[in-house]
Structure 1
Amino acid sequence: MSLHKCIFLDRDGVLNKERGEYTFKLNDFLVLDGVKQSLEILKKHGYLLIVVTNQAGIAKGIYSKEDVLSCHALLQAKVGDLIDDIYFCPHHPVTTESLLRKPDSLMLEKAIAKWNLDISESFMIGDSIRDIEAAKKIGVKGILIGEKEKGELTAPRADSLLDAVHNYIIT
Protein backbone atom coordinates (compact mmCIF):
# COMPACT_ATOMS: atom_id res chain seq x y z
CA MET A 1 0.00 0.00 0.00
CA SER A 2 1.42 3.37 -1.00
CA LEU A 3 1.77 6.31 1.34
CA HIS A 4 -0.29 9.47 0.85
CA LYS A 5 0.76 13.05 1.31
CA CYS A 6 -1.53 15.19 3.44
CA ILE A 7 -2.36 18.72 4.45
CA PHE A 8 -3.56 18.89 8.06
CA LEU A 9 -5.71 21.98 8.55
CA ASP A 10 -6.74 23.75 11.70
CA ARG A 11 -10.31 25.05 11.38
CA ASP A 12 -10.94 28.44 13.02
CA GLY A 13 -8.69 31.12 11.55
CA VAL A 14 -7.55 28.92 8.65
CA LEU A 15 -10.74 27.67 6.97
CA ASN A 16 -13.35 29.88 8.61
CA LYS A 17 -13.30 33.32 10.15
CA GLU A 18 -11.74 33.47 13.63
CA ARG A 19 -14.24 35.42 15.69
CA GLY A 20 -12.27 35.57 18.95
CA GLU A 21 -14.96 33.47 20.59
CA TYR A 22 -16.40 30.03 19.95
CA THR A 23 -17.86 29.50 16.48
CA PHE A 24 -20.67 26.97 16.64
CA LYS A 25 -23.73 28.68 15.15
CA LEU A 26 -24.21 28.19 11.42
CA ASN A 27 -24.88 31.89 10.80
CA ASP A 28 -21.50 32.71 12.43
CA PHE A 29 -19.60 30.10 10.41
CA LEU A 30 -18.04 32.05 7.52
CA VAL A 31 -15.64 30.24 5.19
CA LEU A 32 -12.71 32.53 4.38
CA ASP A 33 -12.05 33.86 0.88
CA GLY A 34 -9.70 31.66 -1.11
CA VAL A 35 -10.28 28.52 0.96
CA LYS A 36 -12.17 26.54 -1.69
CA GLN A 37 -9.64 27.56 -4.36
CA SER A 38 -6.78 26.53 -2.05
CA LEU A 39 -8.31 23.14 -1.36
CA GLU A 40 -8.93 22.57 -5.08
CA ILE A 41 -5.26 23.30 -5.84
CA LEU A 42 -4.07 20.95 -3.09
CA LYS A 43 -6.38 18.14 -4.28
CA LYS A 44 -5.15 18.64 -7.85
CA HIS A 45 -1.61 18.11 -6.54
CA GLY A 46 -2.56 14.84 -4.82
CA TYR A 47 -2.91 15.89 -1.19
CA LEU A 48 -5.39 14.41 1.24
CA LEU A 49 -7.07 17.18 3.26
CA ILE A 50 -7.67 16.49 6.93
CA VAL A 51 -9.02 18.98 9.45
CA VAL A 52 -7.81 18.72 13.08
CA THR A 53 -9.52 21.12 15.45
CA ASN A 54 -9.82 21.68 19.19
CA GLN A 55 -13.46 22.19 20.15
CA ALA A 56 -13.23 22.87 23.88
CA GLY A 57 -16.65 24.52 23.98
CA ILE A 58 -18.14 21.02 24.14
CA ALA A 59 -16.29 20.24 27.38
CA LYS A 60 -17.25 23.63 28.75
CA GLY A 61 -20.94 23.06 27.97
CA ILE A 62 -21.12 26.04 25.61
CA TYR A 63 -22.21 23.98 22.60
CA SER A 64 -22.79 20.36 21.59
CA LYS A 65 -21.07 17.80 19.40
CA GLU A 66 -24.07 18.16 17.06
CA ASP A 67 -23.34 21.90 16.71
CA VAL A 68 -19.78 21.05 15.64
CA LEU A 69 -20.96 18.41 13.18
CA SER A 70 -23.44 20.92 11.68
CA CYS A 71 -20.62 23.44 11.15
CA HIS A 72 -18.50 20.74 9.53
CA ALA A 73 -21.35 19.76 7.20
CA LEU A 74 -21.69 23.43 6.20
CA LEU A 75 -17.92 23.65 5.66
CA GLN A 76 -17.98 20.60 3.37
CA ALA A 77 -20.93 22.05 1.43
CA LYS A 78 -19.11 25.38 0.94
CA VAL A 79 -15.89 23.72 -0.29
CA GLY A 80 -17.47 21.09 -2.51
CA ASP A 81 -16.82 18.11 -0.20
CA LEU A 82 -13.07 18.36 -0.78
CA ILE A 83 -12.09 17.57 2.82
CA ASP A 84 -11.23 13.89 3.26
CA ASP A 85 -11.64 13.67 7.04
CA ILE A 86 -12.30 15.83 10.08
CA TYR A 87 -11.05 15.17 13.60
CA PHE A 88 -12.07 17.26 16.57
CA CYS A 89 -11.16 17.20 20.23
CA PRO A 90 -14.12 17.88 22.55
CA HIS A 91 -11.93 18.06 25.65
CA HIS A 92 -10.46 20.91 27.69
CA PRO A 93 -8.19 20.74 30.76
CA VAL A 94 -10.92 22.36 32.90
CA THR A 95 -12.88 19.11 32.59
CA THR A 96 -10.71 16.39 31.04
CA GLU A 97 -7.11 16.13 29.91
CA SER A 98 -6.65 14.53 26.50
CA LEU A 99 -3.79 13.73 24.15
CA LEU A 100 -6.19 14.58 21.31
CA ARG A 101 -6.03 18.26 22.21
CA LYS A 102 -3.41 20.24 20.34
CA PRO A 103 -0.55 20.91 21.11
CA ASP A 104 -0.62 17.14 21.64
CA SER A 105 -0.71 15.11 18.46
CA LEU A 106 -3.13 12.20 18.87
CA MET A 107 -5.63 13.54 16.29
CA LEU A 108 -2.83 13.69 13.73
CA GLU A 109 -1.49 10.28 14.76
CA LYS A 110 -4.94 8.71 14.30
CA ALA A 111 -5.16 10.22 10.81
CA ILE A 112 -1.67 8.97 9.93
CA ALA A 113 -2.65 5.43 10.89
CA LYS A 114 -6.06 5.51 9.19
CA TRP A 115 -4.94 7.12 5.93
CA ASN A 116 -1.40 5.65 5.64
CA LEU A 117 0.18 9.09 5.48
CA ASP A 118 3.72 9.99 4.50
CA ILE A 119 4.68 12.55 7.14
CA SER A 120 7.78 13.61 5.18
CA GLU A 121 5.48 14.88 2.40
CA SER A 122 2.81 16.39 4.68
CA PHE A 123 2.14 19.79 6.23
CA MET A 124 0.12 21.23 9.12
CA ILE A 125 -1.42 24.66 8.53
CA GLY A 126 -2.69 26.47 11.60
CA ASP A 127 -3.08 29.90 13.14
CA SER A 128 -1.69 29.02 16.57
CA ILE A 129 1.66 27.93 18.01
CA ARG A 130 -0.13 24.86 19.41
CA ASP A 131 -0.87 23.73 15.82
CA ILE A 132 2.83 23.98 14.96
CA GLU A 133 3.81 22.17 18.18
CA ALA A 134 1.45 19.27 17.35
CA ALA A 135 2.99 19.04 13.88
CA LYS A 136 6.53 19.00 15.27
CA LYS A 137 5.69 16.13 17.64
CA ILE A 138 5.02 13.87 14.66
CA GLY A 139 7.63 15.28 12.26
CA VAL A 140 5.28 17.24 9.97
CA LYS A 141 6.27 20.64 8.58
CA GLY A 142 4.16 23.45 10.04
CA ILE A 143 2.98 26.71 8.46
CA LEU A 144 1.46 29.49 10.53
CA ILE A 145 -1.39 31.57 9.09
CA GLY A 146 -2.20 35.14 10.02
CA GLU A 147 -1.04 37.53 12.70
CA LYS A 148 -2.58 35.98 15.83
CA GLU A 149 0.79 34.77 17.12
CA LYS A 150 3.42 37.39 17.88
CA GLY A 151 7.12 37.09 18.61
CA GLU A 152 9.73 34.71 17.29
CA LEU A 153 8.39 31.80 15.32
CA THR A 154 9.94 28.52 14.33
CA ALA A 155 7.61 28.01 11.38
CA PRO A 156 7.11 29.95 8.17
CA ARG A 157 4.24 32.46 8.26
CA ALA A 158 1.66 33.08 5.53
CA ASP A 159 -1.11 35.66 5.26
CA SER A 160 -3.77 33.12 4.28
CA LEU A 161 -4.29 29.51 3.26
CA LEU A 162 -3.92 30.50 -0.39
CA ASP A 163 -0.67 32.32 0.41
CA ALA A 164 0.62 29.19 2.20
CA VAL A 165 -0.33 26.98 -0.74
CA HIS A 166 1.45 29.17 -3.30
CA ASN A 167 4.55 30.07 -1.27
CA TYR A 168 5.31 26.94 0.76
CA ILE A 169 3.54 23.90 -0.68
CA ILE A 170 3.04 24.22 -4.44
CA THR A 171 6.17 26.09 -5.45
Structure 2
Amino acid sequence: MSASSSKLIIFDRDGVINEDRDDYVKSVDEWIPLPGSLEAIALLNQAGYQIAIATNQSGLARGYFTINDLHAMHSKMERLLQPLGGKIDSIFFCPHTDAHACDCRKPAPGLMKEIALRYKKLSSTQPLLDVPIVGDSLRDLEAGIALGAAPHLVLTGKGQKTLAKGNLPEGTQIHADLMAFAIWLLNNQIQN
Protein backbone atom coordinates (compact mmCIF):
# COMPACT_ATOMS: atom_id res chain seq x y z
CA MET A 1 0.00 0.00 0.00
CA SER A 2 1.50 3.34 -0.90
CA ALA A 3 1.04 6.04 1.69
CA SER A 4 -1.14 8.94 0.71
CA SER A 5 -0.86 12.12 2.74
CA SER A 6 -4.10 11.28 4.51
CA LYS A 7 -2.78 7.86 5.55
CA LEU A 8 0.59 8.79 7.05
CA ILE A 9 1.13 10.08 10.59
CA ILE A 10 4.45 11.16 12.09
CA PHE A 11 5.00 10.76 15.83
CA ASP A 12 7.74 11.88 18.14
CA ARG A 13 8.71 9.03 20.49
CA ASP A 14 9.71 10.08 24.02
CA GLY A 15 6.84 11.78 25.82
CA VAL A 16 4.36 10.79 23.10
CA ILE A 17 4.53 6.99 22.86
CA ASN A 18 6.65 6.21 25.91
CA GLU A 19 7.52 7.91 29.18
CA ASP A 20 10.15 10.62 28.87
CA ARG A 21 13.00 11.02 31.35
CA ASP A 22 15.16 14.05 32.10
CA ASP A 23 18.16 11.69 32.24
CA TYR A 24 17.24 10.09 28.86
CA VAL A 25 15.56 6.78 28.11
CA LYS A 26 18.72 4.66 28.06
CA SER A 27 17.62 1.01 28.09
CA VAL A 28 14.86 -1.46 27.35
CA ASP A 29 13.87 -1.40 31.03
CA GLU A 30 13.52 2.40 30.94
CA TRP A 31 11.39 2.29 27.77
CA ILE A 32 7.88 2.28 29.27
CA PRO A 33 4.83 2.93 27.08
CA LEU A 34 2.44 5.68 28.14
CA PRO A 35 -1.04 4.41 29.06
CA GLY A 36 -3.12 3.89 25.92
CA SER A 37 -0.36 4.91 23.48
CA LEU A 38 0.19 1.48 21.95
CA GLU A 39 -3.56 0.91 21.73
CA ALA A 40 -3.86 4.25 19.92
CA ILE A 41 -1.24 3.21 17.37
CA ALA A 42 -3.04 -0.10 16.80
CA LEU A 43 -6.36 1.73 16.37
CA LEU A 44 -4.82 4.02 13.76
CA ASN A 45 -3.15 1.09 11.96
CA GLN A 46 -6.48 -0.72 11.81
CA ALA A 47 -8.00 2.39 10.21
CA GLY A 48 -5.34 2.20 7.48
CA TYR A 49 -2.77 4.69 8.79
CA GLN A 50 0.97 4.12 8.52
CA ILE A 51 3.03 5.38 11.45
CA ALA A 52 6.47 6.93 11.06
CA ILE A 53 8.49 7.96 14.11
CA ALA A 54 10.88 10.93 14.01
CA THR A 55 12.91 11.15 17.21
CA ASN A 56 15.94 13.02 18.49
CA GLN A 57 18.22 10.53 20.24
CA SER A 58 21.24 12.60 21.29
CA GLY A 59 21.89 10.08 24.07
CA LEU A 60 23.73 8.12 21.37
CA ALA A 61 26.26 10.92 20.78
CA ARG A 62 26.48 11.56 24.51
CA GLY A 63 27.37 7.91 25.14
CA TYR A 64 24.36 7.24 27.41
CA PHE A 65 23.31 4.23 25.33
CA THR A 66 24.42 2.34 22.22
CA ILE A 67 22.76 1.78 18.86
CA ASN A 68 22.05 -1.78 20.04
CA ASP A 69 20.25 -0.37 23.10
CA LEU A 70 18.17 1.87 20.82
CA HIS A 71 17.28 -1.06 18.56
CA ALA A 72 16.34 -3.11 21.64
CA MET A 73 13.96 -0.33 22.79
CA HIS A 74 12.33 -0.25 19.36
CA SER A 75 12.09 -4.06 19.29
CA LYS A 76 10.28 -3.91 22.64
CA MET A 77 7.84 -1.36 21.21
CA GLU A 78 7.17 -3.58 18.18
CA ARG A 79 6.79 -6.67 20.39
CA LEU A 80 4.24 -4.91 22.62
CA LEU A 81 2.32 -3.58 19.61
CA GLN A 82 2.01 -6.93 17.84
CA PRO A 83 -0.66 -8.56 20.03
CA LEU A 84 -2.69 -5.34 19.78
CA GLY A 85 -2.65 -5.48 15.99
CA GLY A 86 -0.38 -2.47 15.69
CA LYS A 87 2.97 -1.73 14.09
CA ILE A 88 5.37 1.09 13.38
CA ASP A 89 6.05 1.42 9.66
CA SER A 90 9.36 3.28 9.99
CA ILE A 91 11.63 4.90 12.57
CA PHE A 92 13.88 7.85 11.77
CA PHE A 93 16.24 9.15 14.44
CA CYS A 94 18.88 11.83 14.85
CA PRO A 95 21.87 10.62 16.91
CA HIS A 96 23.43 14.10 17.22
CA THR A 97 23.57 16.86 19.81
CA ASP A 98 22.84 20.54 19.11
CA ALA A 99 26.62 21.10 18.86
CA HIS A 100 26.74 19.00 15.67
CA ALA A 101 24.58 21.61 13.88
CA CYS A 102 23.14 18.84 11.69
CA ASP A 103 20.04 19.05 9.51
CA CYS A 104 18.36 16.04 11.15
CA ARG A 105 18.03 17.22 14.76
CA LYS A 106 14.55 18.62 15.28
CA PRO A 107 13.52 21.45 14.88
CA ALA A 108 15.60 21.19 11.69
CA PRO A 109 13.55 19.47 8.96
CA GLY A 110 16.06 16.78 7.95
CA LEU A 111 14.17 13.83 9.43
CA MET A 112 10.97 15.11 7.81
CA LYS A 113 12.73 15.32 4.44
CA GLU A 114 13.85 11.70 4.87
CA ILE A 115 10.27 10.70 5.67
CA ALA A 116 9.01 12.59 2.61
CA LEU A 117 11.53 10.69 0.46
CA ARG A 118 10.57 7.35 1.97
CA TYR A 119 6.87 7.95 1.36
CA LYS A 120 7.46 9.50 -2.09
CA LYS A 121 6.00 12.86 -1.13
CA LEU A 122 8.17 15.04 -3.33
CA SER A 123 5.58 16.81 -5.43
CA SER A 124 5.85 20.26 -3.91
CA THR A 125 7.69 22.56 -1.54
CA GLN A 126 5.36 21.23 1.14
CA PRO A 127 5.67 17.47 0.60
CA LEU A 128 4.06 16.58 3.94
CA LEU A 129 1.06 18.86 3.40
CA ASP A 130 -1.62 18.04 5.99
CA VAL A 131 0.22 14.95 7.30
CA PRO A 132 -0.33 15.01 11.08
CA ILE A 133 2.85 15.50 13.13
CA VAL A 134 2.30 14.62 16.78
CA GLY A 135 4.74 15.74 19.45
CA ASP A 136 5.10 16.99 22.99
CA SER A 137 7.54 19.82 22.25
CA LEU A 138 7.68 22.84 20.00
CA ARG A 139 10.71 21.46 18.13
CA ASP A 140 8.69 18.37 17.09
CA LEU A 141 5.99 20.55 15.56
CA GLU A 142 8.38 23.04 13.95
CA ALA A 143 10.24 20.25 12.14
CA GLY A 144 6.99 19.06 10.56
CA ILE A 145 5.39 22.37 9.68
CA ALA A 146 8.52 23.30 7.71
CA LEU A 147 7.26 20.77 5.13
CA GLY A 148 3.55 21.48 5.50
CA ALA A 149 2.61 18.95 8.19
CA ALA A 150 -0.39 19.63 10.44
CA PRO A 151 0.79 20.20 14.05
CA HIS A 152 -0.72 18.25 16.96
CA LEU A 153 0.50 18.71 20.54
CA VAL A 154 -0.11 16.01 23.13
CA LEU A 155 -0.05 17.04 26.79
CA THR A 156 1.97 14.02 27.90
CA GLY A 157 5.74 14.21 28.34
CA LYS A 158 6.78 17.86 27.96
CA GLY A 159 3.41 18.78 26.43
CA GLN A 160 2.02 20.72 29.43
CA LYS A 161 5.19 22.86 29.62
CA THR A 162 5.14 23.39 25.85
CA LEU A 163 1.52 24.55 25.99
CA ALA A 164 2.25 26.87 28.93
CA LYS A 165 5.14 28.52 27.03
CA GLY A 166 2.82 29.36 24.13
CA ASN A 167 4.00 30.40 20.66
CA LEU A 168 2.61 27.21 19.14
CA PRO A 169 2.39 27.09 15.35
CA GLU A 170 -0.86 28.41 13.92
CA GLY A 171 -3.54 25.74 13.76
CA THR A 172 -1.97 23.46 16.37
CA GLN A 173 -4.52 21.00 17.73
CA ILE A 174 -4.16 20.08 21.42
CA HIS A 175 -4.85 16.55 22.70
CA ALA A 176 -4.62 15.06 26.20
CA ASP A 177 -2.61 12.08 24.94
CA LEU A 178 -2.05 9.83 21.94
CA MET A 179 -5.38 8.03 22.36
CA ALA A 180 -7.21 11.37 22.43
CA PHE A 181 -5.41 12.30 19.19
CA ALA A 182 -6.33 8.96 17.58
CA ILE A 183 -10.00 9.35 18.49
CA TRP A 184 -10.00 12.96 17.26
CA LEU A 185 -8.40 11.96 13.95
CA LEU A 186 -10.75 9.07 13.33
CA ASN A 187 -13.74 11.29 14.12
CA ASN A 188 -12.47 14.07 11.82
CA GLN A 189 -11.19 12.14 8.80
CA ILE A 190 -11.70 13.96 5.56
CA GLN A 191 -13.75 11.77 3.30
CA ASN A 192 -12.25 11.61 -0.19
Mapped partners of 2:149, 2:69: distance in 1: 30
Q: Say yes or no: does 1:119 pair with 2:124.
A: no
Mapped partners of 2:34, 2:71: distance in 1: 19
1:63-89 Cα distance to aligned partner (Å, 9 max, x none): 211111111111111111610000110
SS of 2:10's partner is: strand
Q: CA deviation at 1:110?
A: 0.9
Residue identity matched to 2:42? E
Q: Say yes or no: does 1:17 pair with 2:19.
A: yes
Mapped partners of 1:2, 1:79: distance in 2: 22
TM-score by length of 1: 0.91
- Note if contact 2:130-2:148 (Cα within 8 Å) is conserved in structure 1: no
Residue identity matched to 2:119? W
Q: CA deviation at 1:164?
A: 1.1
Q: CA deviation at 1:20?
A: 2.2
- Note if contact 2:52-2:90 (Cα within 8 Å) is conserved in structure 1: yes
Q: 1:104 aligns with which of 80, 87, 108?
A: 108
Alignment correspondent of 1:82: 87
Distance 1:65 1:127, change over 3 A: same
Mapped partners of 1:43, 1:116: distance in 2: 19
Q: CA deviation at 1:132?
A: 0.6
- Note if contact 2:3-2:50 (Cα within 8 Å) is conserved in structure 1: no
What percent identity do the matched residue pairs reach?
28
Alignment correspondent of 2:186: 170
Mapped partners of 1:51, 1:133: distance in 2: 15
- Note if contact 1:36-1:79 (Cα within 8 Å) is conserved in structure 2: yes
TM-score by length of 2: 0.82
Distance 1:110 1:59, change over 3 A: same
Greater Cα offset, 66-75 or 82-91: 66-75
Task: For 1:16-165, list aligned pairs within 5 A.
Answer: 16-80=18-82, 82-94=87-99, 96-117=100-121, 119-146=128-155, 147-149=160-162, 150-152=164-166, 153-154=168-169, 155-165=172-182
What is the CA RMSD across the aligned residues, in angstroms? 1.7
SS of 2:43's partner is: helix
What is the aligned length? 169
- Note if contact 2:131-2:148 (Cα within 8 Å) is conserved in structure 1: no
Mapped partners of 1:62, 1:30: distance in 2: 17
Which ranges of structure 1 fall in alignment gaps of 5 or more residues?
none
Q: CA deviation at 1:3?
A: 4.7
- Note if contact 1:6-1:121 (Cα within 8 Å) is conserved in structure 2: no
Mapped partners of 1:119, 1:92: distance in 2: 25
